[in-house]
Amino acid sequence: MDAFCRLSGLDPLWDWNRTWYTANPDLTQCFQNTVLVWVPCIYLWLLAPFYCLHLYCHDSGRIRMSCLCAAKMVLGFLLASFGFVEFFYILLERSQDIQHHMVFLLSPIIRSMTVILALCIIQLERIRGCRSSVFLFLFWVLAVVCSLVPLRAKIQLALDEGIASDIVRYLAFFSYFTIQLAQLFLSCFADHPPEGKTVLEKNPCPVKDASFLSKILFWWFTGLVVKGYRTPLTAEDLWTLRDEDTSNKIISELQEDWTAECAKLQKQEKALASGVALGSRLPEQAQLLRKLQKEQSYGFFLLRTLARNFGPYFLTGTLCIIFHDAFMFAIPQVLSLLLGFMRDEDAPLWKGYFYATLMFLLSCLQSLFNHQYMYTCFTVGMRVKTAVMGLVYRKSLVINSAARRTCTVGEIVNLVSADTQKLMDFVVYFNAVWLAPIEIVLCLFFLWQHLGPSALAGIATVILIFPLNGFIAKKRSKLQEIQMKFMDGRIRLMNEILNGIKILKFYAWEKAFLEQVLGYRKKELKALKKSQILYSISIASFNSSSFLIAFSMFGVYVMLDDRNVLDAQKVFVSMALINILKTPLSQLPFAISTTMQALVSLRRLGKYLCSEELKVDNVSKAQLRSDGDDVAIENGTFSWSAEGPPCLKRISVRVPRGSLVAVVGHVGSGKSSLLSAMLGETEKRSGCVTVKGSVAYVPQQAWIQNATVQDNIIFGREKLKTWYNRVLEACALGLNLSGGQKQRVSLARAVYRKADVYLLDDPLSAVDAHVGQHIFDKVIGPKGVLRDKTRILVTHGMSFLPQADLILVLVDGEITESGSYQDLLNRHGAFADFIHTFASTERKESAIQRTGSRRSNARLSMVDFMPFSRDLSQEQLIGGDTTNTNLQNMEPVSETDQEQVPEDLGKLTEADKARTGRVRLDMYKKYFKTIGLAIIIPIVFLYAFQQGASLAYNYWLSMWADDPVVNGTQIDTDLKLTVFGALGFVQGIAIFGTTVAISICGIIASRQLHMDLLINVLRSPMSFFECTPSGNLLNRFAKEIDAIDCMVPDGLKMMLSYVFKLMEVCIIVLMATPFAAVIILPLAFLYAFVQSFYVATSCQLRRLEAVSRSPIYTHFNETVQGASVIRAFGEQSRFILQANERVDFNQTSYFPRFVATRWLAVNLEFVGNGVVLAAAILSVMGKGTLSPGIVGLAVSHSLQVTGILSWIVRSWTDVENNIVSVERVNEYADTAKEASWSIDGSSLPLAWPQKGTIEFQDYGLQYRKGLELALKGITLHIQEREKVGIVGRTGAGKSSLALGIFRILEAAKGKIFIDGIDIAEIGLHDLRSRITIIPQDPVLFSGSLRMNLDPFDTYTDEEVWSSLELAHLKTFVSNLPDKLNHECSEGGENLSLGQRQLVCLARALLRKTKILVLDEATAAVDLETDTLIQSTIRTQFEDCTVLTIAHRLNTIMDYTRVIVMDRGHISEMDSPANLIAQRGQFYRMCREAGLV
């Protein structure tokens, strides 16, 4: 090359004296005219073939010629022509000695040819639909960078010699450079979308239209951030998912691969099985090993499938992290050179600026590559989540019953919630598993270079810190278990309190249960406090690790040899490397544990996805014909699993078209299994099943979706109004939805379908007898809507059998008899016995039901749009039968995606809403006020002291580094080391102090906030509990309180420590270069500006993501439970589509959420890198006055700014997101409360009421404002010791009287006097504890039997035993091992219903007040218990006033008076005998009950 240049009369290619060892550096003319010209050209020519191949393989459609493309082409031709003009100009001018100008002749022609190649590539990109070119962007960047040196040289020459000497060449060069810059600028923009590809999406993701530059800097995201800052984001503002992120695209590609993998696996298993079959049976251990290997291989196959689909994209991210690491390790090396420059007095200034700029560029590139890597990881994680959820969902629709029984609904929901999350974490942390060890080795290698063997002392320190943290983590996990145990206990008790709140209020027991909850809370917080103290040790050791490693390394280094001196280079480069070392050290254990957890999750997912599926050939489907049999089974044997015993044997059935077949048999005889066999749900061992036409199925346990009634019935079909109304009427779904409503909706769904074959699995058992008869007549029977259809009905109702065309009698899985009703009776076989057994019980049941079981008194308008709540069905909320059906392993679903009930006055439950906007400042005030100023101020001082200690030890280190070296040694190294150690140690203790203090403050605040919430909820009136789903309240006590316990203090800890750290860095930089304030202040404003934009958007995105996550799990749960129904109706594809939509909807808020973090980090890190540049440049400018030590201190600290800024925002956002919990817990402070529990200075006599007289004066009562009065103008006087029965139809106002006496509802007008005292003027507890009720629902709470009888411990054991004796429970309780301390389970499930009712009686006997209200139990209680209760009340409460709300009239026939209620009025009142004689309403009721 030198010879080539010499030929053209140029100097050699490289000259160190001219380029490096000079105050005015420049590159040689040869280098400028060859290397700088050729480098971009070589890049383009070498890579163009590969790029063209890539374009050829990826066709996205043709882009029409745009202004942007035209501009690029015009500028390109201009550039090419410049080269050709220059070539011909030289050729003409120097034609005589052309061989001496070869360099000048070749360079322009190479340049022009390269530009023409670039133009060809632009056109190829346009034809193949590439809108923004990374390849050409990098080419123009290279071209501009390589032109900068000649540009500087030309400007310098023009300044020295004047421009006139060679004006044409100057103008040509400057024009050429300007056009190159213009090309670079144009390549920063993206072209139009390809023709025909502009799909009209509602709100497309702008990343598609973004250029390469916008993509790497995430500028395309700015629009959403600005929108989120102006107004709170809603779901409508979010972009639709990119095509490659949608469930449909991901799963369709993945499913093919997975199916192929499964086929391979099955082949392997068959080969293994045949191998085992040939040999002897494997021993047990070998079988276990084989099973484990099988499960491992499932996981491996799933991983391989995922890797094949998402691996290539993930590898691009891995490449980014490798580049990031290279730049990260280059920065300390450049810092070393900068500090070397500061020490060298003769070094020219330009080198300092060069190092400073290089450091800035390296920091920027490091940031860019890091965030591209994180973006790739999160995108892959999101796609993996979509893929796994889709596979699990589709599997749950085809899994067979044997496999389904091995996992609960909760476990399947866990696969899509917990296990997919673990896979997402695995994607993010997987690279750390192999990269972290390499990073640690590299750090040690560079430290060894600076400090020699002393670097090993640092490793020894690390090895000591790790076991300590491991030990703490182990201890904390044990404490966490203890804390969770108490928390579970508290939540369980809270659940019971909310379910039995009515009883608590009737008995005035709130205080006793309040104490119990607070007892659990105290123990829970005690464990949390211990855990937090241990955590503080962990944080202190981690935050002090930089100091400890440095102290051990520097200490050993100076102790080994006096000639080992610590200068600025050694100290601050080592500190920079130690800061790098901390990241892989903290990541490695986490990455390993994440990987281990992910492998377990892969195995679980693989095992589920490989489980056996229902065989398609279990049932042969055929077209419907006008005649013949619709359902035929020939000699069928069926079982629930391939290995299990058969559940049906030798089954042969033919069901003719249009007939009604009844299937009867005792429990467990195989009736449901027969229907399952017809649906293909069971394993067919032998025989043949044929079903012609479409099928509709009603399962034994009604399966209802979390949607409106209308959606449940229509079930994916279009609504035909007249048919829909006809179905509603036939299925008894009128206005009043009551008992068995779910079963009737389930039946209506089948009827609406207009199918050919109906399989009805005992749909009439859950409804009342008269409703059952109505449905049979109108739907199933010979005159019903389905009369022309084929119906197979499993039933226990004997009255329907005579109308069946064919009856099948099942005994132990075999059809023993079949024929018509009369035929079978005449045979006197099993069927005849069956009839006799059931007939007697059925007569009894219908008699009881005729007396009118209690119905809910709220008529819900617009049945169509009533949402089914998973939490409580609507009727239960009013009726008080609050059996909570919370889903196992699911987060409380606080948000709803249901259609809302029209806003009418009688609306029942209110759904939780997703909040909008920033958190109000009041919430922070409320939180800090709860802690108290007296604690907050010392904490701030403690933080300042901690950071002061850190500043002092760092400054001490810089002074040590600047210490002069005398005779090759430094003086007083021992003293310096001691002071350094002491300052660092003090800082460590201060860190421990601050973290402990904040944890304790958090505990103080959460204790108080929980107490306020508990008291607010318990003091709420009954109407509040009827309007608020218990799930919402439990959510407050569980999730929100947990966030206040842990998340808020942790966020505050992190935020405060980083804020003070940032202040320390700013002080150090300002100490070194006070002029930096000019740069730091604007950067601070820019930072605050960017951060405020981000926090508003991020908080709202997190809320939206949380709101959209719940419906996925709800839908999943429903599908798993109703898979057989979905299959029977053939609705799999619709449900898969719904699942896809829900997952995609969730991802639309998840995707911008993680991009927001990247957007913020990239922008902030450029701010941080600005601080690095400022510190370095200003240090170079002040070279004469600054020492290397202070420069090293300032620059090495400024390198930490980027990380600190990101962490401040992240922790700030966490605090913002979690302080919402304070807001949610505080919500119930302002709701309406009951009157006070007790009134101070009340003059109520202790023995009140002594007589037990009750007087109503024009009394009126309403359930909620806006509804009509439930009691209207009741005037009534009840004498002492009087026994009064209250009767009336449903909704007449019987129970309302009791609610009024106990002030569960306050009077709307009028007054009630007891013993002459107005009950409205005394405390609620004073009132409720002096009168007694035996409620309709016998509610017991988990705890001892004694606690259930006497929670305040007011009575002696003797009194308790005597009440049990009178309640006929003494024998039962004395036979229990723990006697009175017998633990009752939740809701008293381990006692029978009758026993629970007797416990309620024992409570009343124990209190023995002068007034007893008896809300008589409905048909639920057996007659024997009822007789016991009645006889005890007659004898024990003889001298009391007794009010009985009667459902069975025979119990009140001997009462002194009977009050007949009708629509809130008293319609009749007299003794029972007189009322019967009057032949009014009471007489008619007695006649219906068969009493007259």
Residue at 281: amino acid letter? R
- Give the model's pLDDT for residue 893: 31
Average pLDDT, integer, range 570-584: 88
pLDDT per position as a tens digit, 309-363:
999 999 999 999 999 999 999 999 999 998 888 888 888 888 999 999 999 999 9
| Residue 651, token pair as written in the block | 């089954």
Q: Is the pLDDT of residue 881 over 50?
A: no
Query: Is the model's pLDDT at 864 over the cut of 70?
Result: no
Cβ contact 469:534 at 8 Å? no
pLDDT number for residue 1425:
67
pLDDT score at 1103: 82
Q: Which of 62-66, 707-711, 1409-1413, 1485-1489 has the lowest mean pLDDT?
A: 1485-1489
User: For position 735, what pLDDT does the model report?
Assistant: 47
Rounded to 10°, the helix 741-752/721-730 angle is 140
Q: What is the pLDDT of residues 947-987, one digit of tens each?
A: 899 899 888 888 888 888 777 777 788 888 899 899 989 98
- Residue written as tokens 């009239």? 1449
Question: Prior bond to 204 cis, omega within 30?
Answer: no
Q: What is the pLDDT of residue 852?
A: 37
| Average pLDDT of span 1454-1482 | 87
**Average per-residue pLDDT for the chain:** 82
Q: What is the mean pLDDT of residues 233-258?
A: 89
In this predicted structure, what is the pLDDT of residue 443?
92
User: Which of the four pLDDT bands, split at 50, 70 and 90, describes residue 913?
Assistant: low
| pLDDT band at residue 143 under the 50/70/90 scheme | very high
Assess whether pLDDT exceeds 70 at residue 276: no
What pLDDT is recorded for position 95? 62
- d(Cα 195, Cα 61) in Å, to the nearest integer? 7
Task: For residues 1115 and 417, give the distance between their C-alpha atoms in angstroms, rounded to a whole number.
Answer: 13
**pLDDT value at residue 866:** 41
State which H helix or E strand residue 660 sits in.
strand 660-664
Q: Can you give the pLDDT at residue 877?
A: 27
What is the band of 918 on the pLDDT scale with cuts at 50, 70, 90? low
Residue with tokens 């150090």: 1068
C-alpha 297/C-alpha 610 separation (Å) is: 10
| SS3 per-residue string spanning 750-778 | HHHCCCCEEEEECCCCCCCHHHHHHHHHH
Of all residues in the chain, the percent with pLDDT exceeding 70 is 89
What confidence score (pLDDT) does residue 857 get?
30
Top-ranked range on mean pLDDT: pick from 405-414, 1122-1131, 1228-1237:
1122-1131
Of 274-278, 312-316, 626-630, 884-888, which gets the smallest average pLDDT? Answer: 884-888
**Strand-strand pairing, 695-698 and 757-761:** parallel
What's the 3-state SS for 1475-1486?
Answer: HHHHCCHHHHHH
Query: Which residues have a Cβ under 8 Å from the Cβ of 138 and sit 6 or more positions away?
Result: 43
- Residue 501 has a pLDDT of 87
**Segment (H or E) for 630:** strand 629-639
Residue 94 above 50 pLDDT? yes
The stretch 909-937 carries a mean pLDDT of 72
What per-residue confidence (pLDDT) applies to 195?
76
Highest mean pLDDT among 436-440, 927-931, 1302-1306, 1407-1411: 436-440
- pLDDT at position 354 is 92
103-117, 186-200, 565-579, 676-690: which range is least confident on average? 186-200
Structure tokens at 993: 């102090």
715-751 per-residue burial string, b: 16 or more CB within 10 A, e: under 16? bbeeeeeeebeebbebbbbeebbbbbbbbbbbbbbbb
Q: Which two tokens stand for residue 1034?
A: 């439990």
Dump pLDDT digits (tens) for 1272-1284: 888 889 888 888 9
CA dist list (Å): 721 to 726, 741, 784, 864: 9, 21, 19, 12
Encode pLDDT of 278-314 as tens digits. 545 556 667 667 666 776 778 888 899 999 999 999 9
| The pLDDT of residue 842 | 44
Angle between the N-to-C axes of helices 545-560 and 973-1018, in degrees from 0 to 180, rounded to the nearest 10 = 170
| Whether pLDDT at 6 is above 70 | no
Residue 1051, token pair as written in the block: 């966020």
CA 904 to chain centre: 32
Q: Could you read off the pLDDT of 1150-1181 as tens digits, one per residue? A: 999 889 988 988 888 888 888 888 888 988 88
Q: What is the mean pLDDT of residues 1053-1060?
A: 88
860 against 1195, higher pLDDT: 1195
pTM of the model: 0.79
* pLDDT value, residue 431: 92
What pLDDT score was predicted for residue 861? Answer: 30
pLDDT at 1293 over 60: yes
Tell me which of 434 and 850 has the higher pLDDT: 434
Per-residue pLDDT for 587 more than 60?
Answer: yes
Query: What is the mean pLDDT of the segment spanning 683-700?
Result: 90
Better-predicted residue by pLDDT, 409 or 49: 49
The whole-number pLDDT of residue 10 equals: 67
* Ranges assigned E (strand) in 1297-1352: 1309-1314, 1317-1318, 1332-1334, 1343-1344
Q: Residue 1438: phi, psi to the nearest 5?
A: -60, -40
